[in-house]
Structure 1
Amino acid sequence: MATLLDGETLTTATLHELGEKQRGSVALDPTAKARVEASREIVDRIVSTDEVVYGINTGFGLFSNVTVSADKLCALQDNLIRSHSAGCGEPLTRERSRRLLALRINVLAKGHSGIRAEVLEQMIAAFNADCIPVVPSKGTVGASGDLAPLSHIALGLMGEGDMWDPQGGIAPAAEVLARANLTPIRLGAKEGLAMINGTQLIASLGAEAVERAGRAARLADYIAALSLEVLCGTNRAFDPLIHCVRPHSGQMESAARVRSVLMPTAPSELCMSHPKQVQDAYSLRCVPQVHGITQDTIEFVRRILNTELNSATDNPMVFTQEQGGGLIISGGNFHGEYPAKVLDFLAIAVTEIANIAERRIERLCNPSLSGLPAFLVADGGFNSGFMIAHCTAAALASENKVLCHPSSVDTISTSAAKEDHVSMGGFAARKALEVVQNVETVLAIELLAACQGLEFHRPLKTTKPLENLHALVRKHVRPWDGDRQMSPDIEAALRLVQSGEALRAVEQGLGA
């Protein structure tokens, strides 16, 4: 069933899923279509009366005082798209461009942009046919909208530039549209500006980042619990009495999650086999306190982004009589400070998952801290085991410390000082995604190391949920009996982390 886009109810989770190749179609909600048609009537009225309104019959930015004659209004919009298609760098993946297009459709469906309903339906038809324009990843400063990336979306739908070919690779947009029996969009007054003014690159990349971060944060609790078991730690630090007297929601949620797998009904054989520690190192004992604030930040970021996904971020904006006006107003909703700031927050918060995980990997590999063979391998010296896997985790954790410098504290003046304060939100979103990728990889390494450490405790078993996790890993990665290339094992574990398969394995072991 198609996802109805109405400009009101899209979530980061739904948008993330729509990005997956050929995962679902979209349709325009009938109520939203009526709003779109009503807003277009106002634009048509202005065009017919020669009233001068920014973006309809004027130039753009510094040229806002230049009036354009009626016979050039369509060409004006074409020129806007072509000139603003000035992005650079590696293209966004097909999946990320799908999210960008779906989100722009949703924002236009709010009915404040003045676009024709038939143009919006053409955008929907292209999305559903998987005719997705190629979009360079760099070139937005995140104010006056993500102009360059969104212009490349519009350019492809006009039959110019390149598209991802449903048959594979990249091809000229005109050819891809023709094979899908789709007609290139022909822009009318204001429609080019309507398609490109907004924060949709920042928000669509942010939706992916926050959804992946949320999954990683949940799984991190379970992986930390497995490391605790392997290191013969105590579960006393997760007692609800401790967390109820510092009742941050994320902290209590993290502690409950760790408890759920350490003591689903009773302590494990492994837990019962060793003397109780008085207290553990911080990387084990303080998991709820560290993971908890990450979880709370993720929820905060998700809330802000869910608002942004359903916000009108155009300029100028059209208000019908029913919406309180019957007029067009210039404003600044295109400024990306909201999503830029929260994506900087997200990167800072989620990187702590990798920082503390790397410390647990060190404890697993260090025989003086773990009581296990050095670097988790027999015949050490002849074999190096997890020695360099730990270095890889350390390298990624350190990279994140640089990537977490907030881009949204920067600004630069553009457009002849007309646009003199910007958000740099596009970079904030790209950095957040890179940080999340690094965190997922560090967690994959910790998962491999904890599973390898568990081998040295056999035949003792841990709890059912954690045994489920170990069994899943062993389906894809055999125990480390001697040195071999480590990268394929890390990639296999990373796929389990990113796909949600590892998370499902644990939670299926918990039952109800």
Structure 2
Amino acid sequence: MFAHLARHRELQYNLIRSHAAGVGTPLSPEKTRMLLALRINVLAKGHSGISLNALNTLIAAFNASCLSMVPEQGSVGASGDLAPLAHLALGLLGEGEMWSPKTGWENANKVLEAHGLKPLKLSAKEGIALINGTQLITSLGAEAVERAYIIALQADVVAALTLEVLKGTSRAFDSDVQLIRPHKGQIEVARRLRALLHSEMYPSQIAESHRFCNRVQDAYTLRCCPQVHGIVHDTIDFVEGVITVEINSGTDNPIVFAERGEIISAGNFHGEYPAKALDYLAVGVHELASMSERRIERLVNPALSELPAFLVKDGGLNSGFMLAHCTAAALAIELLAACQAIEFLRPLKTTVPLEEVYNVVRNSIRLRKKTAALKEVYNVVRNSIR
């Protein structure tokens, strides 16, 4: 690279063109607009070594909704979002495709021209400044946090409705119960459930109808909503904090400290913080889905709900909500697979020796009709490893 410093301007364009190697479905205009907004925010912090003219070009494109075609796949996070951000910059150079409300998808140069804008002209450092950072992870993460908040609030409402239908009790949501285990999310969810059920001031007719029943306590999926939903709310709050810091951070490399007259190569481009936080968010959202699926099973199971099977009269002739529960179960399993980062339809194979161990265990362990010690299983696995 140092042999070509005299051609630094050409290098900036080459960096963007060579790194624009993403594949897959293009991001929607809304997601691309978020991505561009966050990139502008990072560059405006003054640690990227980009000119004011270049920054103003990005702002003008944002205001006109001139949005580059950005494929959704190609980022691994460890080096930031190089490929997606390169595609974002490519359109601003007048190359590739862009979208705007006025033109739809069109040649980038024509889209810019239709809005009276000129392609971005790059100087030294500006190529890498445009493509180095975590803004794709962060923008999609911010959307995920917002959607998770909505889902979590809806889950609380659905849980309250289900409790009523299944003739559950709100006693487990008593405020003093929560105060002796004072997690923020648990307290808030219990308070929300009490408010929805009006259990203290305005108990419902359904609640009154079984006030003196002989049931000691409800199933976990009803009784433990404050604890399970509560930690999900706390998880979302935690992830929001990480994403908020990331949105407002300098994530370029190298980093320019103009006031010190120094340029430092460092690792702020690494996507570990938002990636790990979003993995945590995925686990939390799955917990809501898992609880919801189990409550649906109780609703359609007459042995548990005291309601008609699958919530329909004339069972057999009518299937009712049978397949609705099947769909819920399928989605819950798919979410579980997604938050473990494994293939849903066919788990990825491991190494040949481990696959052989797996097959030996599967062929050697007999199906059991009743509970038994697991020593035989352990012995087969141990001998296979030897």
TM-score bracket relative to the smaller structure = 0.7 to 0.9
Q: Which residue of 2 aligns with 1:211?
A: 146
Contact 1:103 1:309 in 2 (8 A): yes
Match of 2:256 among 314, 318, 326: 318
Q: Which residue of 1 aligns with 2:281?
A: 346
Q: Distance in 2 between matches of 1:212 and 1:67?
A: 49
Q: Trace 1:242-321 onto structure 2 (pairs within 5 A).
A: 242-263=177-198, 265-276=201-212, 277-321=215-259
Q: Percent identity?
A: 61
Contact 2:48 2:255 in 1 (8 A): yes
Letter in structure 2 aligned against 1:346? L
**TM-score normalised to structure 1 length:** 0.65
> Is 1:121 aligned to residue 51 of structure 2?
no
Q: Which residue of 2 aligns with 1:175?
A: 110
Q: Distance in 1 between matches of 2:63 and 2:327?
A: 41
Q: CA deviation at 1:169?
A: 4.3
Q: CA deviation at 1:343?
A: 0.7
Q: Distance in 2 between matches of 1:68 and 1:200?
A: 29
Contact 1:139 1:149 in 2 (8 A): yes
Q: Distance in 1 between matches of 2:123 and 2:258?
A: 19
Contact 2:103 2:111 in 1 (8 A): no
Root-mean-square deviation (CA, aligned residues, Å) is: 1.4
Q: Distance in 1 between matches of 2:67 and 2:96?
A: 11
How many positions carry a matched residue from both structures? 339
Gaps of 5+ in 2: 343-386
Match of 1:383 among 295, 311, 318: 318
Match of 2:338 among 394, 400, 403: 403
Contact 1:94 1:132 in 2 (8 A): yes
Q: Distance in 2 between matches of 1:406 and 1:301?
A: 18
Contact 1:130 1:166 in 2 (8 A): yes
Q: Distance in 1 between matches of 2:5 and 2:180?
A: 69
**TM-score normalised to structure 2 length:** 0.85
Q: Distance in 1 between matches of 2:232 and 2:247?
A: 22
Match of 2:66 among 124, 131, 139: 131
Match of 2:164 among 229, 242, 260: 229
Bigger radius of gyration: 2
Contact 1:344 1:406 in 2 (8 A): no
Q: Which residue of 1 aligns with 2:297?
A: 362
Contact 2:64 2:100 in 1 (8 A): no
Q: Distance in 2 between matches of 1:384 and 1:174?
A: 57
Gaps of 5+ in 1: 1-58, 60-65, 408-512
Q: Trace 1:145-160 onto structure 2 (pairs within 5 A).
A: 145-160=80-95
Write out per-residue CA displacement over residues 375-416 of structure 1, whole angstroms, 9 at most, x where no aligned residue.
112222111111101101100100111111159xxxxxxxxx
Write out per-residue CA displacement over residues 267-294 of structure 1, whole angstroms, 9 at most, x where no aligned residue.
1122222344421111100011111111
Q: Which residue of 2 aligns with 1:84?
A: 19
Q: Which residue of 1 aligns with 2:355?
A: none
Contact 2:159 2:225 in 1 (8 A): yes
Q: CA deviation at 1:182?
A: 1.2
Contact 1:100 1:204 in 2 (8 A): yes
Q: CA deviation at 1:225?
A: 0.2
Q: CA deviation at 1:164?
A: 2.0
